[in-house]
Amino acid sequence: MRPGWIPLRRRNNFPHTYVLSSHLLNIPSNSCTKKGLDCGWRLQKMTPSPLPKNCCKGGVNDLYFTKLSIIILFGGIMSLGRRAGVFAMLCVMIGMLSGCRMPDQTLVQIGPGERITVSEYQKSLDTFLDGEYKRELPDSIPFEQFRRHLEGMIENRLILAAAYEAGLDQDSTVQSRVHDALQSQMTTQLYSDKVVDKAVTENDIRNFWQRSGIEVTYRKIEIHRGQSRDSGTDTAQYYEKAMDLANRARKGEPFSRLARQYSDDRISAQRGGEMSPLWYDATGDPIIEAVFSAKEGQIVGPIEIQRGWVILSVDKKALKNRKSYQAAYNGIREYLAEQKRRERNAIARAYLSGLDKRYNAVTHQDVVDTLSGLFTRWKSGSERPNLRDSLETLPESLTSRELFTSKFKTLYVSDMVQSLLKNPRALSRGKFEDSEAIRDYIYRALGIQNEMIIQETRRLRYENHPRVVEKVRQTRESEMVSQYLNRFIYEGYETSADAVRAYYETHKAEKYSLPEIARVQEVQVYTERKVDEVLDRVKRGEDFGQIASDLTLRGGYKPKKGILPDIRKGTWGDIGNKAFEMDPGEIAVVDLTGNKFSVIKLLEKIPARPRPFSEVAAQAERALAREVLEQRKAEWLNARREALGVSIREKGLEKLWRSYQKS
């Protein structure tokens, strides 16, 4: 039997039954599972079945089969001979790969001709979730959130359809916005392809993603240079001390006890070295790299840090409900690109240098040197003439000289002079006595760099790039929706002073009032013994402000005698909550996290009070306009929905929602 064929037991009356092995097409067994939909290649299901209706459609080059074992039953054909059977099966396989793609399932039907498909909704939802939840998806996403997002898509489609009917796709304002978006997106995509893709590789993104879904709980012991609790240890021996502690921890001594006894980081020492859970990032921090590379229960170190050495104990690694690799890809790529700023800048400079050669871009150095010499003389001379007057009186023999030439543009000295005269700030601050500053001004301020990049995007036909086309489409439709709202739904709205005043009177208590405020004095300390000391001094009649000046550990508040900023109700956590339970002059102790204590004295409570109308009139006018226009929009949408008819596949939406919940 040939490789790639698997014999099965005889079924019914067919003498031969074969199944196509997945490795023949190099498709993994789970390659069709996408975004929670069960679209798998299932070799284990050997019963023939028709292509199901809910087979999802992926990207341009994707092919998904839903719950399908590709079973080719050709008993009669195989009885004619193996060659004829193989030929027949290959014909069937080629037909499937070339043209068999299941239609995308409809989630919402809008009127007779408009619909929102499952894949369109998922794509939009994933973009939304990517912005809403930066690091990880929550264990449960409320169904109302799914419903609201879908309703937003329906509303947008209804307005967009009306905008197309009104011919706004040909509107000059929309076309201008689309033209600007096209130039911007082509430049962005060129930078992404030629610079970012070289700085951030696929391997970088995958390695980050594999670590990003893990939360690590750990403890630490810090030994600082020349600052160890053991007075017998000098700065020359701190490493040996750190190594000795690490070895003792590895031999089984409780890490928390060693941290309390020896760590030079006072705050974490009181907690037995326990630290807040860590998420992975790519900053290159040695502690992060160490704990994510270690196993649970492993002792790591000593690791050198700025203040000395640190020993780490990895207590627990917990896998979080992270985003899929596809959903997290763009966010990780952007983050890593930001971390690799130096690499990006170097790659960009090299790329721009290559464009200079492609477009024969030449900055005439002799002219640049002449200008540089003039600026040097003007700025260093004893009389220091007015730069503007000096530029305006340059001889034509200089201003007519070529400053820059290329395939697409020629600049003269007069072009730079006119630009500087229109930009006095650049003229006064620019260091044009340096020839590099002049070259930089030519490329940036005179637009040569942008022009070269635009020429390159056109040469590479970036206007046809799929991402550019998609972004431009989004811009066009967004602008069309905005224009339709302003011209047809919001048009004619006017407000009056009486209406604004009435709105203010109705909502002043909830929207336009100053909140209740507590004024508090605090002494922050680290131990209960210090708390007792503060309370004893208060009992002896000492001034609370003087006690705060002597003892408070909150940074910057000793000179202020411990007086905190005004506390609004609902802020400042436990301190704020306690303050609003107290009476003026009362003193209380608040137990804070991290072995900290706050002894607070309530100085004053200021009740909530309305702000004067004159202060908030503009704010009230905007709020009133927003409410009225939203009401107009809602009424228009309801009428449009009624006229066209909108049908939502509730079961399909619920199935999608379940697929996003953590199992």
- Give CA–CA dist 583/465, Å, rounded: 67
* Burial readout 352-384 (b: 16 or more C-beta within 10 A, e: otherwise): beebbeebebebeeebbeebbebbeebeeeeee
Q: Give mean pLDDT, residues 265-275.
A: 78
Q: What mean pLDDT comes out for the span 269-279?
A: 78
pLDDT averaged over every residue in the chain? 79
Separation between Cα atoms, residue 221 and residue 305, nearest integer Å? 12
Q: Work out the pLDDT band at 172, boundaries 50, 70, 90.
A: very high
Return phi, psi of residue 425, to 5°: -65, -45
When pLDDT is averaged across residues 304-322 and rounded to a whole number, the result is: 80
Region of poorest pLDDT, from 126-140, 423-437, 589-603: 126-140
pLDDT band at 313, cuts 50/70/90?
confident
Confidence at residue 281, expressed as pLDDT on a 0 to 100 scale: 67
Whether residue 17 is predicted with pLDDT greater than 50 in this model: the reply is no
**What letters, b where the CB count within 10 A reaches 16 and e where it falls short, cover 201-231?**
eeebbeebbebbbbbbbbbbbbbbeeebeee
Q: What is the pLDDT of residue 485?
A: 95
Residue 474 has pLDDT above 70, yes or no: yes
Instruction: Assign domain 214-319 to a CATH class.
Output: alpha beta
- Tell me the per-residue pLDDT of 498-553, one tens digit each, with 9 for 90 and over: 999 999 999 988 889 888 999 999 999 888 888 999 999 999 999 999 999 999 98
Confidence label for 233 from pLDDT (cuts 50, 70 and 90): very low
pLDDT at 47 over 60: no
pLDDT single digits (tens) 147-164: 999 999 999 999 999 999
In the chain, pLDDT over 90 holds for what percent of residues? 36
Single pTM value for the model: 0.63
Percent of the chain with pLDDT over 70: 78
Residue ranges of the domains in the chain? 5-99, 107-165, 214-319, 359-459, 516-607
Q: Which of 472, 455, 263, 279 is nearest to 359 (CA)?
A: 455
Q: What is the mean pLDDT of residues 411-423?
A: 90
Instruction: Tell me which of 211 and 426 has the higher pLDDT.
Output: 426
Q: Where are the strands (E) in 607-652, listed by range?
A: 609-610, 646-648
pLDDT confidence of residue 1: 37
The per-residue pLDDT for 310 is 86
SS3 category, 550: helix
Confidence of residue 323 (pLDDT cuts 50, 70, 90): confident
- Name the pLDDT band for 102 (thresholds 50, 70, 90): very low
Per-residue pLDDT for 400 more than 80?
yes
Predicted pLDDT at 535: 92
180 pLDDT above the threshold of 70 = yes
Name the least confident of 38-52, 273-287, 390-404, 612-626: 38-52
- Residue range 184-199: mean pLDDT, rounded: 92
Going by pLDDT thresholds of 50, 70 and 90, the confidence category of residue 53 is very low
Confidence band (pLDDT; 50, 70, 90) for 93? low
Dump the DSSP string for 302-318. Answer: EEE-SSEEEEEEEEEEE
Give the model's pLDDT for residue 84: 52
Per-residue pLDDT band at 10 (split at 50, 70, 90): very low
Average pLDDT, integer, range 266-279: 77
State residue 466's pLDDT score.
93
Give the pLDDT mean for 467-477.
94
pLDDT of 430 reads 75
Residue 371 has pLDDT above 80, yes or no: yes
More confident: 223 or 382: 223
Q: Are strands 609-610 and 596-606 parallel, antiparallel or unpaired?
A: unpaired
How large is the average pLDDT for residues 238-247?
84
3-state secondary structure 334-349: HHHHHHCHHHHHHHHH
Q: Say what the pLDDT of residue 62 is.
A: 34
**How sure is the predictor about 50, in pLDDT bands with cuts at 50, 70 and 90?**
very low
Tens digit of pLDDT for each residue in 114-151? Answer: 899 998 998 888 888 776 665 556 667 788 888 999 99
Residues 6 or more apart whose CB falls under 8 angstroms from that of 150 comprise 107, 108, 116, 121, 648, 653
What average pLDDT does this structure show over 431-438? 86
Please report the pLDDT score of residue 132 as a whole number: 65
- Is pLDDT of 103 > 60? no
More confident residue, 69 or 499: 499
Evaluate whether 214-319 and 516-607 have a shared fold.
Answer: yes
Nearest Cα to Cα of residue 254 among 297, 302, 309: 297
Longest dimension (CA), the chain: 110
Q: At what angle do helices 544-551 and 528-539 cross, to 10 degrees?
A: 150
Q: Considering only residues 430 and 357, tell me which one the structure prediction assigns the higher pLDDT.
A: 357
Segment 173-199 shows an average pLDDT of 93
What is the reported pLDDT for 426? 83
Domain 516-607 - what CATH class?
Answer: alpha beta
Residue 395, classed as helix, strand or coil, is: coil
Q: Cβ distance 215 to 278 under 8 Å?
A: yes
| pLDDT score recorded for residue 46 | 32
Backbone angles phi, psi at 423, to 5 degrees: -130, 75
pLDDT at 20 over 90: no
Burial of 579 (0-12, 13-18, 19+ CB in 10 A): buried
Per-residue pLDDT of 192-204, as tens digits, reads 999 999 999 888 8
